[in-house]
Each structure stands twice: as C-alpha cells, then as structure tokens.
Amino acid sequence: MVKNNVEIDIKTMCIEAGITQAKLANKLGVTPAYVNRVIRRKETVVNRTFTRLIEALGYDIVITYVKQDPAALNNVEQKGVTF
C-alpha cells in the first residue's frame, strides 16, 4: 500500500509554490482534469503492478519528496547532460 496521501502532498506543494493545478497542467501540457485525475488516483502515480509486488513481499511504499536545487540543475544542463 502507498502510505502517502499523494493528493494532499501535491496540493500542499502547489500551495507552497503558489501555483494552481490548472497552471501545473499548463506547464505539463495536459488538461487540468487530467492532473486532477492523476492526483486523486494514487495507484496511477505508483504503478499498480509494482505496488502489488512490493505488498507481496510484505512491504509498504513511502514516497519521499526532495526539493530540486535549481543551481545544481543549471550546472548539469551546462555540461550537456540530458535526462
């Protein structure tokens, strides 16, 4: 089972960033309805098969979020590394 409440986590991050779900959707090039659907269905955030495998092994999933460091990202981009 995914222990995080992904919906609350993402909504909190949007508030902290001062961005609406509609603006987030625009940044991603998708509809606001799609963003809302993904956020509300946490099993789509973490692949359902992966979740079942982890549960079968007796584990739960806990997602940890780490704020990106823009300076580090710029440094990687300058070196020509792509993801």
- Domain-embedded: residue 73: yes
Cα separation of 5 and 78, whole Å?
36
Q: What is the pLDDT of residue 54?
A: 82
What's the number of domains the chain is made of? 1
1 in a structural domain? no
Q: Is 10 a member of any domain?
A: yes
Question: Is 19 among the domain residues?
Answer: yes
Q: Say which range, 23-27, 42-46, 67-71, 78-82, has the weakest mean pLDDT.
A: 78-82
Give the confidence band of 74 by pLDDT, cuts at 50, 70, 90.
Answer: low
CA distance 43 to 1: 9
Question: pLDDT digits over 32-66, tens only?
Answer: 998 888 888 765 667 777 888 788 888 888 888 88
The boundaries of the domain holding residue 20 are 6-78
Quick check: is 24 in a domain?
A: yes
